[in-house]
Amino acid sequence: MSEPAIERILFSAEQIDQRIREVAAEISAKYAGREVKLIAVLKGSVFFLTALVRELSVPVKVDFLAVSRFANQKGAPGMVRIAKDLDDSIEGEDVILVEDIVDTGFTTRYLLQHLAAREPNSLAICTLLDRTPRRIVRVPIDYRCFEIPDRFVVGFGLDYKQLYRNLKYVAALNLEAPGPGA
Amino acid sequence: MAAQRLECELVTDAKLSATIASEFGAQNGIPEKAWPHLATSILAKLGVQQHLVISSIGSELLLRNIPGMLRAHVVAPEARRLGNIMLDRRLERAEAKRQLREMEKETALTRKKRFGRAGSRVQSFDLVMNAEGLATEQMSDVLDSAVRAKGLLEAGLLTAAAEAQIQFQVRLKLARYGIVPPDRLQVRHKEFGHPSEEVFANLLDFYRIAWDYEPRSFPLQWDKDGKVQEAFTPDFYLPEFDMYVELTTMKQAHVTKKNRKIRLLRAIYPHVNIQVFYQKDVQDLVIKYGLPERLAQ
């Protein structure tokens, strides 16, 4: 199968930096005088997390989670589970779940349920991209950088078959058209 | 999760109540004390056709004389239950606590009305698990082992003779309330129209999201006598979110026709939430979740 091509850049590196600074300012104002724990979902959210924490002016801790893949090697669906759990307790802490993209809301809902049972003082969601046209599960998003149309996107942590995460921008990928390397 | 793992039909309290309402008429006219008998009648009919996982208030007290049952109870610490309510309803802890108390009161009241006692007794169960020490996956493992250890799946379904005996006793009990059970019960079997629907169902199961396949048809056009001429049946209903989902993986000409139906549905039934997934969306899901690419075709 030929590799798809980048169709167009949706958000440039400058636009992303600017928007992250704005969202970080919102978070810093909301959590002023408190300490906040940011939890990123591996792997895609790491890129957004590292950019976001550098702009926060409140004391911040970070931790990471990973969820199991939908299908095993034989293609059979399993049951969602935490593949990598938090390193530390979040009891009594103000927690923000950091996502690269909220799409159907399936994964986010599962993670929120997992985190809510750990008795945090508060729990919020911050996402780089919010693709509402695909939303099935209504998840409450507190901070979003960009809303995106119903397109397959890559870059700034988002991948296509594990590639493109390193792009400094977010781009729409044309899955029909072959890329230059095809 | 256990139902999926054991490949059994999940019968929830909502499903049981809805079946009672549709099979026996409006629930308002049925005394709560008749509820266990009505539920028993329906479960016996279903039990002849498939293995069941029953998740309903007081269900441990139903079909008490049937040997092929495993009665399991899951308790969870208040912190976990509170966390779920905080999340689902976007509440502060104090308000979540108040609502949790309300829910507990309501459950106790329902149980009292149906079975004459507000609480459950540990002696009524074969197995009690605590979610504080056991993760959902581990509880599912324990249930799976217990079901297999008791040989419930190998023992086969409820026999017709056993069902007839149950129905005879239920008829006697229901006669007191002037209720006659129906002879036949409509049971839906899941036969997916397209492989992508099965993948989507698997995806919902993966995330432990309850679903029904094509549970309802919406009339869209009627003739002058009021007879339905055109209807639309969405593929999935997700009761937790009160949302219908339609998957569209067909040619553009058919998509246009289907879009017209969905527009009509939204116009006639504005309160119905429906999400449409087009071929491109399904394809994206296939890529995102690493599924075989033939499923997106």
Q: Write down the ipTM of this complex.
A: 0.80
**Entry pTM:** 0.62
Phi, psi of B107 (to 5 degrees): -60, -45
Instruction: Give the tokens for residue A140.
Output: 């409450």
Contacts of B28 (CB under 8 A, 6+ apart): none
Residue B25's pLDDT is what?
61
Residue B230's Cα: distance from chain center in Å? 28
Contacts of B4 in chain A (CB under 8 A): 79
Q: Per the CB < 8 Å rule, is B206 touching A77?
A: yes
- B275 CA: distance to closest CA in chain A (Å): 7
What SS3 state is found at B284?
helix
The model's pLDDT over A2-50, given as tens digits with 9 standing for 90+, comes to: 567 888 999 999 999 999 999 999 999 999 999 999 999 998 999 999 9
Query: Would you write out chain B's pLDDT as a tens digit for each of its 297 residues?
Result: 677 677 777 888 777 777 777 666 654 566 777 888 888 888 888 888 888 888 888 888 887 777 788 899 988 888 888 887 887 777 777 888 888 899 889 888 888 888 888 888 888 888 999 988 888 778 888 888 888 888 888 878 888 888 878 887 777 777 777 676 655 544 444 677 777 788 788 888 778 787 888 888 888 888 888 888 888 899 998 888 888 999 887 666 677 888 888 899 898 888 888 988 887 777 777 777 766 555 444
The pair of three-digit structure tokens given for residue B172, joined into one six-digit string: 């006697």
Ramachandran quadrant class, B226 (left: phi over 0; alpha: psi -120 to 50; beta: rest):
left
* Sole residue written with tokens 């005394």: B31
A150 is catalytic: no
Shortest distance between the Cα of A117 and any Cα of chain B, in A, equals: 4
Q: Which residue has the tokens 């409006």?
A: B26
pLDDT at A1: 47
- Taking an 8 Å cut-off on Cβ atoms, the answer to whether A70 and B290 are in contact is yes
Bond from prior residue into B257 cis (ω within 30 degrees of 0)? no
Q: On the CB side of B29, how many CA atoms lie within 13 Å of its CA?
A: 9
Token reading at B108:
């106790």
Interface test mutation site (partner A, options B5, B75, B87, max chain A beta carbons within 10 A): B87
